[in-house]
Amino acid sequence: MAKKRRFVRGRRLFIQRFLNKLAKILPPRKSLASFVGKADLGNDPPMAALLKLSIPSIGLFVFSSLLHLVDTVFVSWLGEMPMAAMSFTGPINMCVFAMLDCVANGSLALMGRRLGYGDVRSARHIAQSGLWLLYAACALSLPLVFPPVSNMVFGAIGAGGNSDLLRLCWLYNMWVPLMLPFMGFTYMANTIFRAQGDTLTPFKSISIANAINIALDPILIFTFRWGIAGAAIATWISRIASSYYLIRKMRNSSGIMISPTTPPDRRLLRYWRPILWIGVPVGLSTASTALGMGSVNKILSTFGHAAVASWMVGLRIEELAFNLLSGVTTAFTPFIAFNYGKRDLERMMSGYRSALKIAFVLVGTMGAIIYINPQFFLSIFRPPEEIMTLASRSIRASIPGYPFNILIAITGGFFVGTGYSIFGTITQIMRSIVFRISAAWIFSRIFTIENIWWFQPLAFFLASFVSMTFFMYLMKRIRLALSVK
């Protein structure tokens, strides 16, 4: 017995010594919690700060797309017509989300600069003002709940002439205006956390939404037989749960706190103009992308519904790469805004180069994987052979343009962070409307459906020149303003 007791004491002593040594090597618990997703925007090395913020930001966009991807997968099992309906609702929803992006990005740039100045009180006022501006923007989409308005809108972008298709568009899209108030609060709450150098909390909120959406989609679509409407209802419920999580999290771990029921204050309306001055160009960028997609859908519809469905499915797969790029850009924008407030141009440029390196490695790797075997990723949709072939061609034609798109996106983040978002807007309009639509229309006259897809990399290539022209002009202005040679 004595020998056994000595053995137990010796084992406990060994474990205690091991834990003591481990505690000396590892950072404290709070530091571990903030190692990924939280960074000191003004002092951490730019590459380290962007890596910390990029990992959860990438997860945020991957999981945001997963919300739509899961819906697309389950709806694709319902047949070609529901898939076409989702494709037609995509551009309209992008316009709606553009309004949310408008306010969120304008608020982010202003809050980031105020926090860089050390003015937390003004940052809090900007957040409260931005929340009610989001609510006002959400109200603009309410007419889409009514079938006549829905039919008029979707008929104008190519779904007209087919009553069944118009009804499916309405059944799916009618739930979007009802979920927008919850999404408006979610957008502003995530913006507040990002402005403080925290991208982990937004990632957790979207993870909760995804888990609920994945669980409810098959139940509401197939078990309850609600079809395409079931997918929208599942997303609506998941957004409510995400909002509830952010409310609780904000009370415990945010230096800036707002409530979804915060009463409006007329004194804070003065922030609407600067928010919109920065945010409207960002919203127009997203809206131009939606308009470009809608116009391309209309061009492709001349080849049949299979071409439109192939375009939509191919874009869903490409989002795997674009989400990586969006995640890096999302981490990069508050970094630029904060250090622009500090008037630290050297740190801004170091962050710009670091963001480009991170994006080229991540997006390039994912693009190569998708290019090698797009059929592997497309198989989750169970598409017919024709759609599988056309979607594969679309993906492989687009990927060579990724390096130019990376340059456009990261430079666009720089524009937003410094408050010159209008430069990014012009670039996006040129890419999505002028270059993309023109190339798609010309190629539709020259090539068959198998080769029309090369309009995408051509638009990326031409727009990158526009972006870099604006960037060089902006750098001259910033150096002059900050008196940096």
Q: Tens digits of per-residue pLDDT, 410-448?
A: 999 999 888 898 998 899 889 888 898 888 888 888 888
Conformation bin of residue 483: beta by default, left when phi > 0, alpha when psi is -120 to 50:
left
Write out pLDDT tens, residues 18-68.
Answer: 445 434 433 444 443 444 567 888 888 899 889 888 888 888 777 776 777
- 253 is a domain residue: yes
Domain count along the chain:
1
- 71 is a domain residue: yes
- 209 is a domain residue: yes
Per-residue pLDDT, 188: 92
- 183 is a domain residue: yes
CA nearest 74: which of 201, 227, 266, 190? 227
Residue 440 in contact with residue 452, Cβ under 8 Å? yes
Paired tokens of 40? 């000191």
- 11 is a domain residue: no
Per-residue pLDDT, 412: 92
Amino acid at 282: V
Per-residue pLDDT, 414: 94
Paired tokens of 66? 């997963």
Per-residue pLDDT, 37: 63
The CA–CA distances, whole Å, from 465 to 281, 352, 363, 422 equal 19, 17, 20, 16
Per-residue pLDDT, 36: 58
Angle in degrees, CA 131, 133, 138, rounded to 5: 95
Per-residue pLDDT, 6: 56
The verdict on pTM exceeding 0.85 is no
Q: Give Rg (Cα) of the chain.
A: 24
Roughly what angle, to the nearest 10 degrees, separates helices 46-76 and 200-218?
10
* Burial environment of residue 441 by CB neighbours within 10 A (0 to 12, 13 to 18, 19 or more): middle
Quote the CA–CA distance of 11 and 17 in Å, as a whole number.
10
The CA–CA distances, whole Å, from 296 to 23, 200, 308, 380, 480 equal 58, 36, 9, 24, 42
Residue 330 in contact with residue 199, Cβ under 8 Å? yes
Residue 326 in contact with residue 25, Cβ under 8 Å? no
Angle in degrees, CA 435, 440, 446, rounded to 5: 125
Paired tokens of 250? 């904000």
Give the 3-state secondary structure of residue 261: coil
Which sign, positive or negative, has the C-alpha torsion 93, 96, 100, 101? positive
* Burial environment of residue 133 by CB neighbours within 10 A (0 to 12, 13 to 18, 19 or more): buried
Domain of 470 in residue numbering reads as 43-481
- Counting as low any pLDDT under 50, the low residues of the chain are 4, 7-8, 11, 14-15, 18-19, 21-35, 484-485
Phi, psi of 43 (to 5 degrees): -130, -30
Q: Write out the DSSP string of 368-418.
A: HHHHH-HHHHHGGG---HHHHHHHHHHHHHHGGGHHHHHHHHHHHHHHHHH
Residue 184 in contact with residue 244, Cβ under 8 Å? no
**CB neighbours (10 Å) of residue 411?**
22
CA nearest 54: which of 417, 358, 407? 358
Amino acid at 206: I
Conformation bin of residue 484: beta by default, left when phi > 0, alpha when psi is -120 to 50:
beta
* Burial environment of residue 276 by CB neighbours within 10 A (0 to 12, 13 to 18, 19 or more): middle
Per-residue pLDDT, 332: 92
| Residue in the block written with tokens 């103009």 | 273
